[in-house]
Amino acid sequence: MAPTLETPAGTRGPAPASDGQGASRALSVLLIEDSDDDAFLLLRRFRLAGYDVQSRQVCSSEEMRAALTAQAWDLILCDHRMPGFDAMAALNLVNALGRDIPFIIVSGQIEEDKAIAAMRAGAHDYLNKNHLERLLPAVERELREAANRHSRRAAEATLRENEARLRSLASSTPGLIFQMVRAPDGGLLFPFASEACEMLLGVTADKLASQADGFTRRLLSEDRESFFEALGRAAEPGARINWEGRVCTPRGGVKWINLRASARLLPGGSMAWEGVMWNITQSKQTEAELRESQRQLAELSNHLQHVKEEERERIARDVHDVLGGHLVAMKFEIAMLASKLDAPPEALAQRASSLGKLVDEGIETVSRVTRELRPGILRDFGLAAAIEGQAEDFTQRTGIPCEILCADHDIELAESASIALFRIFQEALTNISKHAGADQVQVRLTEEGDDVILDIADNGCGIEAEDLSKPRSFGLRGIRERLTSLGGSFEHRPNRPGGTRLIARLPVHAGMDIRDEET
């Protein structure tokens, strides 16, 4: 067995030729050869052709495996038969290690059938040692083919990586990524649709791809025309579609979708639209709810303005009719008293008593109007005392008993929060007197954790769910808005055995950073 021979560049033979630009062409060659002389002659041809050769000579399976494992090789030149080793065994080893290296058999004698078998096993060419004119052309051809194969594999690997990345992105994107093309019959086909297809449209991507009208027939009839108009406007390469509409799912549901795509001309000349569809049902519902909320707030604002005018009219009427009448009567009584100063004491006393009653009634009217405008007891004695006083006035005015339980009389709230709860209490009592038909009211004011809770219950006819959505249900709407503005919450529930419970919950710290606007 011949020893392993390694020949670094320039150690044997003439100096390598230049490639015409001052640089030699590097070439690493693995020689499977048991003859040192044959190996030298082969390498000499490469150096004379201008190659800077780095080589290694082996002649056994173990040596070849070590060489292939140690480094990458540009070329393998293999003798057909050696003691204990041959070209077929070398080919099998190259294939087993998964190496793609130009493998050329160079032998003094090889039967044609064996050469054909070697070519079928993976050899790229075979040459006779006595006729090496084809060596360099064959090697350069196979080096080009190897470079092409390497570039193709690299491109295929990049393509597979990009496809895997695209599929990964498509599968993790909540929107439906798609490609849409025109079918020969004018319909729309979806050659590609991501996994979100079933979640968004209720059909699998394969089923959508097999139906020319799989998408368009799911569009609501009133939205179909606008979709085709948007598609028609995006009939040129680079044009974009941004369309919103509704689709029907197989289970009968309706979803709002936003379709965005760009037009691209395919190699065959047909047009394709590639983009994404999103489920925007929630945002559409939120938008509708916002518009409805704005409408309700506008109605509530108008209602509050109307209530203010009514309140001013009532106050003006009380001042004019009640207090003004009392003042006129007092003036008349004073005049009568002055004209009869010489009357008997009994008559003067009767006039003075009548005058005192008129003064008391005037004072009561002023006190009542003042309490309704701004109860001084709220500022001076707190929310619990103000609610108790309002409950007494309510009972005297309506005859409906109002039981008050204030577990915490020392509740401390910001002025704006106290006023809000007091006005809520007033509004609730007004609703009860007008609509509930109740003959008993129970009120509880308690502090639970970081919240103050005002619980108002009556035994009247109750509130139906549809009552809350009536256009003119401003009372409860106003209560909810007051609490929401301060970070609180409001709920209503049936009272047992009958009637309604209104529960207002407000954080203790509510309104601490809000400037009180009521004066």
**Got the DSSP string for 128-166?**
ETTB-TTHHHHHHHHHHHHHHHHHHHHHHHHHHHHHHHH
pLDDT recorded at residue 374: 59
Looking at the DSSP assignment, which residues form a beta bridge with residue 30? Answer: 56, 76
Residue type, 411: I
Average pLDDT over residues 281-302: 80
Pairwise pLDDT comparison (238 vs 314), residue with the higher score: 238
pLDDT at 303: 65
Neighbours of 16 (CB within 10 A): 20
pLDDT value, residue 317: 66
118-145 average pLDDT score = 90
Residues in the chain: 519
The model's confidence at residue 306, banded by pLDDT at 50, 70 and 90, is low
Name 289's Cβ contacts closer than 8 Å, sequence gap at least 6: none
Q: Give the pLDDT confidence score for residue 18 in this predicted structure.
A: 47
pLDDT of residue 174: 77
Task: Give the lowest-confidence range in 9-13, 84-88, 265-269.
Answer: 9-13
What's this model's pTM, rounded to 2 decimal places?
0.44
230-263 in b/e form (b: 16+ CB < 10 A) is: bbeebeeeeeebebbbbbbeeeeeebbbbbebeb
Q: Which residue has the higher pLDDT, 73 or 325?
A: 73
pLDDT of amino acid 408: 64
As a whole number of angstroms, the distance between CA 27 and CA 46 comes to 9
What's the token pair of residue 169? 């992105």
Query: Who's near 283: CB < 8 A, 6+ residues apart?
Result: 256
Question: % helix / strand / coil in the chain, to the nearest 5?
Answer: 50, 20, 30
**For 459, phi and psi rounded to 5 degrees?**
-110, 35
Report pLDDT for 101: 94
**Closest residue by Cα to residue 491 from 459, 466, 454:** 454
Return the H-helix or E-strand segment holding 56. Answer: strand 51-58
Considering 89-103, 330-344, 372-386, the range whose residues carry the highest mean pLDDT is: 89-103
What is the rounded average pLDDT of the residues 187-214?
Answer: 86
What the block records as the tokens of 100 is 């793609």
Section 205-210 average pLDDT? 86
For residue 376, pLDDT over 90 is answered with no
Give the best-scoring range by mean pLDDT among 12-26, 139-153, 464-478: 139-153
Question: What are the tens digits of pLDDT across the range 440-468?
Answer: 888 888 888 788 888 888 888 877 655 55
pLDDT score of 145: 94
Range with the lowest mean pLDDT among 8-22, 76-90, 212-226? 8-22
Mean local confidence (pLDDT), 390-394: 84
Other C-beta atoms lying within 10 Å of the C-beta of residue 108:
12
Question: Among 108-117, 348-357, 430-439, 498-507, which stretch is predicted with the lowest mean pLDDT?
Answer: 348-357
Determine what percent of the chain is predicted with pLDDT higher than 90.
Answer: 29
Is the predicted pLDDT of residue 360 greater than 90, yes or no?
Answer: no
Asked if residue 298 has pLDDT above 60, the reply is yes
Helices and strands counted in the chain (H then E)? 16, 18
More confident residue, 221 or 409: 221
Classified as helix, coil or strand, 19 is coil
Query: What is the reported pLDDT for 514?
Result: 46
d(CA 489, CA 90): 84
Summarised one tens digit per residue, pLDDT across range 82-119 is 888 999 999 999 999 999 999 999 988 777 788 888 88
Q: Helices in 318-431 by DSSP H: which ranges?
A: 324-339, 345-373, 376-381, 383-398, 415-431
Give the pLDDT confidence score for residue 372 in this predicted structure. Answer: 61
Greater confidence, 94 or 504? 94
Instruction: pLDDT band for 14, please (50, 70, 90 cuts).
Output: very low
Place of tokens 């500022």: 379
The larger pLDDT score, comparing residue 44 to residue 479, is at 44
As a whole number, mean pLDDT of residues 368-383 equals 67
Q: Please compute the mean of the pLDDT values over residues 283-309 and round it to a whole number.
A: 76
Average pLDDT, whole number, for the chain? 80
Mean pLDDT of 303-320: 66
pLDDT score, position 213: 82
**pLDDT confidence bin for 286, thresholds 50/70/90:** confident
Q: Which pLDDT score, from 0 to 100, does residue 96 have?
A: 92
